[in-house]
Amino acid sequence: MSVAEINKDSLVKDLKAIGVKKGDLLHLKISMRSVGKLNGGANELLDAILESVGDDGTIVSDAFVNVYPLPLSDEKKKIIADDHTRSYAGAFANAMINHPRMERSKHPIQKFAAIGRLAKELCERHVPGSGGYDLLDEMAMMDAKNLTIGPDVVGVGTTHVAIDQLGFKRKEMNTGALYRNMDGEVKLAKMNWNGGCGRGFPKFYPLYREKGGMLAEGKIGDAESVLTSMKRTLAIEKEKLKEDPRFFFCDDPACYSCRISWDHSSKNYLAFGWAWLRKNAGSLSFSRFKNLYLVLMKRA
């Protein structure tokens, strides 16, 4: 398919071919640049997906907002998140946020945007006291599907859920953001979920294929895409991580998140420091070298 041929009608055909059906509950992870040129941009893809799931369907996208070091600077105190705050999650997430039927989850930071029959009830249950990924856990229990569009998109929506459910702990990040609650009050929310590096998440793909988590693979526009069962991928991830808790770690020896930050990281500080220096030698500044020094000095 040439770039010029991608339009709403062709996208609807692609979505049907990969297995998206009327009434689906669908979690979306999308790289618009991978889809190809669309005259209507992200809105055209959004319209195609909404047509594909129909009035009885529901679509959900990550629509998270930024956090900042605590205590907040005077500049960051001016940033107050609400239901219409833009997300760093990309053009498609922001197209959903701007849609007139959009519902936004009430978690102050790990916000999701949803449209469709179940959108309101899903979002209203994801509140300030919820875990960052609890909405995805609920979707998995409801046998939702995940559609990942684009080869550079990380994960299928359930790996962070598996990590949280297995109780893995990571060094807490002292970050947060202000938000406006449902009563109109401005509150401070602190990051209280694991997060972390997702570059190792694609290592699960062969297991998804082998164990029935992968429902279909194909193209949406020009983008390599996968459709997965959230219930099955979550079960596969939990089974594998019980056997090998480091399986989701990436292969970069200079990755602080994977090599150092988790309770079950190797914490080989000398190996990490040497790998980090080799990787960043060409772009070292005093502040970056100081940060590395502080990490290594805290190893005890």
Q: By C-alpha distance, which of 62, 70, 61 is closest to 189?
A: 70
Q: What is the dihedral of CA 247, 249, 254, 256, to 10 degrees?
A: -130
Per-position pLDDT tens, the chain of length 300: 444 579 999 999 999 999 999 999 999 999 999 999 999 999 999 999 999 999 999 999 999 999 999 999 999 999 999 999 999 999 999 999 999 999 999 999 999 999 999 999 999 999 999 999 999 999 999 999 999 999 989 899 999 999 999 999 998 788 999 999 989 999 999 988 888 788 999 999 999 999 999 999 999 999 999 999 999 999 999 999 999 999 999 999 999 999 999 999 999 998 998 898 888 876 766 666 566 666 566 543
**What tokens appear for 122 in the block?**
């899903």
| Beta-sheet pairing, 112-116 with 186-190 | unpaired
CB 214, CB 237: distance < 8 Å: no
Buried b (16+ CB within 10 A) or exposed e, 210-233: eeebbbeeebbbbbbbbbbbbbbb
DSSP state of 99: S
What pTM, to 2 d.p., does this model score?
0.91
As given in the structure block, the two tokens for residue 229 are 């069962």
Cα separation, 193 vs 79, in Å, equals 21
Looking at residue 1, its pLDDT comes to 43
pLDDT tens for 132-178 read: 999 999 999 999 999 999 998 989 999 999 999 999 999 878 899 99
Residue 238 pLDDT: 98
**Mean pLDDT score of the chain, rounded to an integer?**
92
Nearest to 146 by CA among 160, 131, 136: 136
Which residue in this structure is represented by tokens 């939990």? 238
Q: Do strands 58-62 and 175-180 pair parallel, antiparallel, or not at all (unpaired)?
A: unpaired
Contact 145, 228 (CB under 8 A): yes
What is the pLDDT, as a whole number, of residue 284? 64
Cβ within 8 Å of residue 298, ≥6 positions away = none
Distance CA 77, CA 23 (A): 42
CB 89 within 8 A of CB 63: yes
Residue-range domain boundaries for the chain: 3-243, 256-297
